[in-house]
Amino acid sequence: MKPKAEKTPDALPADIAGAWLQPFLDHLRKERRYSVYTARNYGQAFVDFFHWLQRSQRGEGGFDVLTARDVRDFVIEAQRRYDRRTLHNHVSGLRAFYRYWMQRGRLERNPFAGAPLPKLQKNLPKFLTEAQAAALLDGPALLLKNKSLPAHDAWRDRLVLELLYGGGLRVSEVVALNYGAVDFGAGSARVLGKGRKERICPLGATAMKVLAKFRAEFAHGTGPADPVVVAAPGRRMTVRAVQLLVKKYLALADLPMDLSPHKLRHSFATHLLNSGADLRTVQELLGHANLTTTQIYTHTSVARLKEIYAKAHPRA
Catalytic hit among 170, 263, 266, 271: 170
- 33 a catalytic residue: no
Catalytic hit among 106, 199, 288, 299: 288
Of 149, 145, 176, which Cα lies nearest the Cα of 242?
A: 176
Q: Quick one: which H or E segment has residue 230?
A: strand 230-232
Encode burial over 259-279: b for 16+ CB neighbours within 10 A, e otherwise: bebebbbbbbbbbbbbeeeee
Q: Quick check: helix, strand or coil at residue 227?
A: strand
Q: Quick check: helix, strand or coil at residue 194?
A: helix
Catalytic hit among 126, 262, 299, 304: 262
174 within 8 A of 207, measured Cβ to Cβ: no
- Return the half-sphere exposure (C-beta side, CA atoms, 13 A cut-off) of residue 155: 16
- 297 a catalytic residue: yes
- 194 a catalytic residue: yes
- 29 a catalytic residue: no
- 51 a catalytic residue: no
- 265 a catalytic residue: yes
Q: Which residues are catalytic?
A: 170, 194, 262, 265, 288, 297
